[in-house]
Amino acid sequence: MKLLWNPVGSRLVSKLLTWLGRLSNTRKFERVAAFAGIGSQASQEDVFNILQGYYPSDTQFVVLPVDFSYMGAGNPKQPYLDQLGELRQLKRDPVVGPRIHPFVGIDPRREGFLQLAKTYIERHEFAGIKLYPPLGFSPLDERLTPLWEWSEAKQVPIMVHCSSGGVYFRGKISDVIWPDKTAIHPRFSRSNDVWTDHLSDPAGYRSILRQYPSLKICLAHMGGHEACQAWLSEPWPNHLSQSNWLTVILGLIKEFPNVYTDISYVGFQVAVHPVIHALVRDPVIGKRILFGSDYYMVHQDVTEREFSLRIRSLLSEEEFRLISLTNPQQYLKKA
């Protein structure tokens, strides 16, 4: 990772991975090399310039920054508030600004996080809030209560990581405060990567939504590819309905008026396409599905254009327009 922090090191790693790909006759190494190359760009504008090249010139993008400051893996190379400042400047740019809808990445462990969200959304035209609980906090953390209250009142959209795997908390699990005020829930005393998956469980949002029923929230990734494949292949007895994350998300969508999900990252897998196709056609669920790619994470598996064209070829023009334009416009609309 330190090699990737400078242009020379990034080129060396990219060449090594490309060579390994040719040696092993697999594209996986080349994709990882491309992923590394994007991540080592000098600025967020440089990353955006790569991304926009995969789409028509009038495409608009939701930008989802994440606050990694409290995940126990060391300090970010660029402080998070500086990253937000850079993104704020991009939003002011007369060319880039109209094409991006930045969110504010929030962590309840950051002092003044609610005021930070309000400032960027009310003064700097940011579009919503991003939460990534596996970084070491529960969505049931009572420190988030004023955030739920304000977001519901203002209809500010929230985007939440909701799949197993991904980035996770690297510190001591005993430092994660559980809602019952104890340091760690005894049922989940496993390794960090396994334990933190529980923090992404969509069932945790049911009590929040019952208290704030109009909260506008997207439970991203459709619960993850494992949940989608189980939803496809397994019978639906009570245990599956209660534990399958996709089933839980679909239940929340039907129960509450402003719950959404998206196809980001999980949509690259052809095995999941029948799930997407069926759900987009559902008269209720279809109105709550958002197109998304999870750039540039998905670049480890497919290119951005391949991802988007796979989805476009899967759906009719009306269905694709629904998830890529109509639904996102409704989701991003504030009070």
- Compute the distance between CA of residue 111 and CA of residue 144 in angstroms, rounded to an integer: 12
Q: Which residues pair with 104 in a beta bridge?
A: 129
Residue pair 183/177 in contact (Cβ under 8 Å)? The answer is yes
More confident residue, 245 or 180: 245
29 & 62 share domain: no
Six-digit token pair at 178?
């559980």
- Compute the distance between CA of residue 40 and CA of residue 1 in angstroms, rounded to an integer: 10
Residue 332: HSE in the Cβ half-sphere, 13 Å Cα cutoff? 21
User: What confidence tens digit (pLDDT) does each residue in 282-318 have?
Assistant: 999 999 999 999 998 888 888 899 999 999 999 999 9
**In three state form, how does the secondary structure of 140-202 look?**
CCHHHHHHHHHHHHHCCCEEECCECCCCCCCCCHHHCCCCCCCCCCHHHCCCHHHHHHHHHCH
Q: Give a yes or no: residue 201 inside a domain.
A: yes
Which pLDDT belongs to residue 185?
Answer: 60
Q: Give a yes or no: residue 83 inside a domain.
A: yes
More confident residue, 179 or 221: 221
- The length of the chain in residues reads 335
Q: Per-residue pLDDT for 184 more than 60?
A: no
Per-residue exposure over 167-186, b if at least 16 CB sit within 10 Å of its own CB, e if not: bbbeeebeebbeeeeeeeee
- Compute the average pLDDT of residues 121-134: 97
Q: Give a yes or no: residue 219 inside a domain.
A: yes
Q: In what helix (H) or strand (E) does residue 191 lie, and over which residues does it extend? A: none
Q: Predicted confidence band at 77 (pLDDT cuts at 50, 70, 90)?
A: confident
109 & 29 share domain: no
72 & 8 share domain: no
Q: Give a yes or no: residue 52 inside a domain.
A: no
CA distances (Å), origin 86, targets 31, 79, 93, 153? 27, 11, 11, 28
User: What confidence tens digit (pLDDT) does each residue in 157-171 have?
Assistant: 999 999 988 899 999
pTM score of the predicted model: 0.91
More confident residue, 178 or 294: 294
Helix (H, G, I), strand (E, B) or coil at 335: coil
CA distances (Å), origin 186, targets 16, 20, 76, 178, 190? 44, 43, 31, 10, 9
Q: In what helix (H) or strand (E) does residue 101 lie, and over which residues does it extend? A: strand 100-106
Q: Predicted confidence band at 189 (pLDDT cuts at 50, 70, 90)?
A: low
Six-digit token pair at 63?
């930008």
35 & 61 share domain: no
The number of distinct structural domains making up the chain is: 2
- Compute the average pLDDT of residues 179-191: 59
Alpha-helix residue ranges (DSSP H) falling in 79-205: 80-92, 113-122, 145-154, 192-195
62 & 34 share domain: no
Owning domain of residue 20: 1-40
Residue pair 65/84 in contact (Cβ under 8 Å)? The answer is yes
19 & 87 share domain: no
Q: Give a yes or no: residue 25 inside a domain.
A: yes
Q: Per-residue pLDDT for 28 more than 90?
A: no
Q: Which residues pair with 130 in a beta bridge?
A: 105, 159
CA distances (Å), origin 242, targets 156, 198, 205, 206, 237? 29, 14, 14, 12, 9
E-strand stretches of 253-322: 259-262, 289-290
Q: Predicted confidence band at 183 (pLDDT cuts at 50, 70, 90)?
A: very low
Give 3-state DSSP helix, strand, coil % of the chain, rounded to 5: 55, 10, 35
Q: Give a yes or no: residue 166 inside a domain.
A: yes
User: What confidence tens digit (pLDDT) does each residue in 78-97 have?
Assistant: 999 999 999 999 999 999 99
- Compute the distance between CA of residue 312 and CA of residue 195 in angstroms, rounded to an integer: 36
Which pLDDT belongs to residue 128?
Answer: 98
Residue pair 158/129 in contact (Cβ under 8 Å)? The answer is yes
CA 184 to chain CA mean position, Å: 25
User: What confidence tens digit (pLDDT) does each residue in 212-237 have?
Assistant: 999 999 999 999 999 999 998 888 76
Which pLDDT belongs to residue 239?
Answer: 62
Which pLDDT belongs to residue 181?
Answer: 52
Residue pair 162/206 in contact (Cβ under 8 Å)? The answer is no
206 & 117 share domain: yes
120 & 35 share domain: no
Which pLDDT belongs to residue 76?
Answer: 87
- Compute the average pLDDT of residues 21-30: 72
Which pLDDT belongs to residue 233?
Answer: 87
More confident residue, 79 or 238: 79
Q: Give a yes or no: residue 47 inside a domain.
A: no
More confident residue, 241 or 42: 42
Q: Per-residue pLDDT for 73 more than 70?
A: yes
Average model confidence (pLDDT) across the chain: 90
Q: Per-residue pLDDT for 250 more than 80?
A: yes
11 & 97 share domain: no
Q: Give a yes or no: residue 49 inside a domain.
A: no
64 & 108 share domain: yes
Q: Predicted confidence band at 242 (pLDDT cuts at 50, 70, 90)?
A: confident
Which pLDDT belongs to residue 264?
Answer: 97
CA distances (Å), origin 191, targets 70, 203, 226, 297, 333? 18, 21, 20, 23, 40
CA distances (Å), origin 1, targets 25, 42, 257, 283? 25, 15, 43, 46
